[in-house]
A and B are shown apart, each in its own frame.
Chain A
Amino acid sequence: MTRAAVQPIEAEALVRCFDEIRAVDGIDIVVDKGEIFGFLGPNGAGKSTAVRVLTTLLKPTSGTARVAGYDVESQADKVREVIGVALQDAAIDPLMTGKELLRLQATLHGIPRRLAARRAKDLLERVGLTEAAPRLVGQYSGGMRRRLDLALALMNEPDVLFLDEPTTGLDPMSRRNLWEEVRRLNREYGTTVFLTTQYLEEADQLANRIAIIDHGKIVREGDPAALKKSVGSPTLRVDVADEQQAIAEQTLQAFGEERPSRVGRVSIGLEGGAERMADVVRALDEAGIVIEHMELDSPSLDDVFADATGRRLEGAADAEEPAE
């Protein structure tokens, strides 16, 4: 097999255990060149552990993984040459300036001084940190730190970029700016991106293909549109008073299969879609149920997650609360 033909990321039956806990439990991944691959799952699902194995920070307990054609165990040095990584907590020394960190990163990758200076200048411009570069990173905002982390990850012009929850803790504006930068990177440079996230919208917005991970196992995989389509009917959510929840559930059973939901809300997959809304309202009214709130959504990744695991993704309910 020629090097040009290898997949950027391939993992087969990958397992990583911590004592008795199987944090990553036999996952298979194939990421194509130039793809943004989203690894979606709740906290503790095994996303970060998988990234740490793929980036050589952890040894797999069993199974194999190759990045850019190099084995993560036996050719770890080669893997490190061709990857860029922005870890979950933006591991940046607050006592260094942005400029110093970029210089250090260049040295760590053996980039000659002149080339490093040129790349640092370009990257700082690209992430909008040129003016802030001489300042200590401790004075940066969360968004600035993430952008600097991204610039650091790009210093060696990686073939494969790993972004581990890159927007966690960022405000919506910073989050969107970072998304745009990732898209541009992928579009203009063809960089393959492996992105872990717990945000449905992030996966939906960025990824060409998604794997949903739960308890260390991949429970669904595919492109977002196909995954959502696989769920079938749209989700009808009806908020009712607690004492009416049981009867509401019973009434709505006639219109579709119940889907996981929070207390005080009944969710079903509405068979027949929007056309049956009038029937639903009539049935609820006849049953004497007072509707506090009602919404019909096309299937979302949260529905895909719920369909696969029987529960909603953490924080998804809050994120999906309609604006008042």
Chain B
Amino acid sequence: MTVDVAQRADTAGDRVDHHRPRPWSIVWRLTARSWLNLVRIPAATIPMVIMPLFFTVAFAGAFSALVLIPGYPTDNILSWMGPFAALQGAAFTGLGASFALGRDIEGGFYDRLLLSPASRLSIAGANVFFVLFRTVIPVAIVLLIGAIGGMDIPAGILAAVMLLLGAWGVAAIAALWGMGVTYRIQKQSAGGLVQVGVFIAMFLSIGMMPVDLMQGWLPHVAKYNPMTYIMELARQGFIGEVAWESTWPGLVSIACGVTFFAIFAWRMFQRVTP
């Protein structure tokens, strides 16, 4: 194992070699810490499992008659609502990063991280990395419920890959947005504001209804909402085959969203650390 060691001969003589922390080790360690915290707070773990399950069952049950509307893209409501529920779960996972960050800042634990020579990017990035890990759970739950409930998956394994890709995109964007707001406000209460933004983006997309069947101002908003294209990317394999023309707009939306909110989060982060 090679260790990057900064040799110093200074005020304390040669007593200690100060080691330079490796960013990847820090990301792993902080991710492991987040997992432990999640497991040790049942109040956080239960919603993580229950919410995607609830969303899938509730949406599919309450809106089952939607498939009877002429022009609805599928006759299997689970295939339409399942991916939406998975992306909702992913968004919730992203929001969790904001709450966890707020807790650390309020409790002073974040100062401990900032007082270390660890790279600032690895400290901030660990939050997003953990979110990506955690996002697998709602996606897996939705797929499991779908398999039990008779969800159509015409694209097979590729559908699951696209769903996971979309979920990761939504989770990363929600996490970065949440982190930015939390760095700015420096309190757990930032979570409330963060939720509003995420919910608006989710519900003003094609989460429940395709654009062609929307009325009034909704289709105009949905067309310009990047979440629409991420949803399309994630859902395509459940209502048909995976196609490039349904994939690339979603990928571009994720790339733009992640870039924009990463810059936002980083700028806000610089307010808490010189």
Q: Any chain A CB within 8 A of the CB of B149?
A: no
Q: Any chain B CB within 8 A of the CB of A104?
A: yes
CA distance A100 to B40 in the complex (A): 14
CA distance A76 to B29 in the complex (A): 23
Which residues of chain B from 86 to 145 have a CB within 8 Å of any chain A CB?
Answer: 104, 107-118
Interface centre among A90, A96, A192 (most CB of B within 10 A): A96
Contacts of B22 in A (CB 8 A): 110
Instruction: Given A3-B8, A68-B10, A159-B11, decide whether A91 and B29 contact each other with a Cβ distance below 8 A.
Output: no
CA distance A100 to B109 in the complex (A): 14
Interface centre among A55, A57, A73 (most CB of B within 10 A): A57
The closest CB in chain A to the CB of B104 belongs to A93
CA distance A22 to B113 in the complex (A): 27
CB <8 Å contact, A81 and B25: no
CB <8 Å contact, B18 and A82: yes
Within the complex, the shortest CB–CB distance from A41 to chain B, in Å, comes to 21
CA distance A7 to B12 in the complex (A): 10
CA distance A3 to B8 in the complex (A): 9
Q: Identify which of B15, B25, B104 contacts A107 (C-beta below 8 A).
A: B25
CA distance A85 to B115 in the complex (A): 8
CA distance A192 to B112 in the complex (A): 20
The closest CB in chain A to the CB of B115 belongs to A85
Q: Identify which of B4, B11, B33, B118 contacts A100 (C-beta below 8 A).
A: B33
CA distance A33 to B114 in the complex (A): 25
Q: Identify which of A4, A93, A103 contacts B13 (C-beta below 8 A).
A: A4
Within the complex, the shortest CB–CB distance from A303 to chain B, in Å, comes to 34
Q: Any chain A CB within 8 A of the CB of B200?
A: no
CB <8 Å contact, B36 and A6: no
Q: A-B contact count, CB below 8 Å?
A: 128
Interface of A is mostly: loop
CA distance A136 to B41 in the complex (A): 13
CA distance A93 to B100 in the complex (A): 11
Chain B proximity mask over A112-137: 1 for CB below 8 Å, otherwise 0: 10000000000000000000000010
CA distance A62 to B41 in the complex (A): 44
CA distance A26 to B6 in the complex (A): 33
Q: Any chain A CB within 8 A of the CB of B157?
A: no
Instruction: Given A110-B22, A159-B10, decide whether A96 and B33 contact each other with a Cβ distance below 8 A.
Output: yes
CB <8 Å contact, A108 and B118: yes
The closest CB in chain A to the CB of B39 belongs to A95
CB <8 Å contact, B115 and A4: no
Instruction: Given A57-B274, A69-B11, A159-B11, decide whether A112 and B18 contact each other with a Cβ distance below 8 A.
Output: no
Interface centre among B15, B19, B104 (most CB of A within 10 A): B19
CB <8 Å contact, A6 and B117: no
Instruction: Given A91-B107, A93-B33, A95-B41, decide whether A109 and B115 contact each other with a Cβ distance below 8 A.
Output: no
Q: Any chain A CB within 8 A of the CB of B61?
A: no
Which residues of chain A from 70 to 110 have a CB within 8 Å of any chain B CB?
Answer: 73, 76-78, 80-83, 85, 87, 89-93, 95-96, 100, 103-105, 107-110
Contacts of A107 in B (CB 8 A): 21, 25-26, 29
CA distance A30 to B169 in the complex (A): 51
CA distance A83 to B8 in the complex (A): 14
CA distance A7 to B110 in the complex (A): 29
Contacts of B109 in A (CB 8 A): 91-93
Q: Any chain B CB within 8 A of the CB of A8?
A: yes
Within the complex, the shortest CB–CB distance from B74 to chain A, in Å, comes to 43
Which residues of chain B from 181 to 222 have a CB within 8 Å of any chain A CB?
Answer: none
Chain A proximity mask over B1-34: 1 for CB below 8 Å, otherwise 0: 1011010111111011011111001100110010
Contacts of A103 in B (CB 8 A): 29
A–B pairs, 12, beta carbons within 8 Å: A3-B8, A3-B9, A56-B115, A69-B11, A80-B116, A91-B111, A93-B104, A95-B36, A104-B33, A107-B26, A109-B118, A160-B11
Residues of chain A at the chain B interface (Cβ within 8 Å) = 3-4, 6-8, 33, 55-59, 68-69, 73, 76-78, 80-83, 85, 87, 89-93, 95-96, 100, 103-105, 107-112, 136, 152, 156-157, 159-160, 189-192
Known: A56-B114, A110-B3; 5 extra A-B contacts, CB below 8 A, are: A57-B273, A69-B11, A87-B112, A91-B107, A104-B30
Residues of chain B at the chain A interface (Cβ within 8 Å) = 1, 3-4, 6, 8-13, 15-16, 18-22, 25-26, 29-30, 33, 36-37, 40-41, 104, 107-118, 273-274
